Structure 1
Amino acid sequence: MPMISVSMFPGRTPAQKSALVRELTDAFIRTCGGKPEGVQVTLIEVGADHWATGGVLHSDR
């Protein structure tokens, strides 16, 4: 059972999240095979004060 985990900033609508998990599932099935009900997707929303790139918090940018 594959697990796809996506970390992203908050702010996407429920419709955008639904479309994302649908597309990720479809892409996995298309490239690796299997059945959609076997693909697990987690969406993790991380605030800008908990995410850094290049040693700088995104909240400080």
Structure 2
Amino acid sequence: MPIIQVEMLKGRTLEQKRALAEKVTQAVVETANCPKEAVKIIIREMEFENYSQGGVLKCDEK
């Protein structure tokens, strides 16, 4: 049973998350040769103040 974790910044719509789940599931089915019902996906959304790149919080970027 493949378990995929996706971490991303908040802001995606429900429709975008549905499409992501569908396409990631299909990719795993094709490459891991497993039924789609076996694929589990966890989507974790981060607040902009909880993500930093290059020493700068995303919420502080201009």
Shift of 1:13: 1.1
Q: Does 1:32 align with 2:39?
A: no
Q: Distance in 2 between matches of 1:24 and 1:6?
A: 10
Any gaps of 5 or more consecutive residues in structure 2?
none
TM-score (norm 2): 0.90
Aligned CA-pair RMSD: 0.8
Listed as ranges, the matches of 1:1-61 within 5 Å are: 1-61=1-61
TM-score (norm 1): 0.91
Residue identity (%) = 38
Any gaps of 5 or more consecutive residues in structure 1?
none
Between the two proteins, the alignment pairs up a number of residues equal to 61
Q: Distance in 2 between matches of 1:3 and 1:55?
A: 31
Shift of 1:7: 0.8
Runs of 4+ in 1 over 3 A off after TM superposition: none
Q: Distance in 2 between matches of 1:31 and 1:47?
A: 32
Q: Distance in 2 between matches of 1:32 and 1:2?
A: 8
Shift of 1:12: 1.1
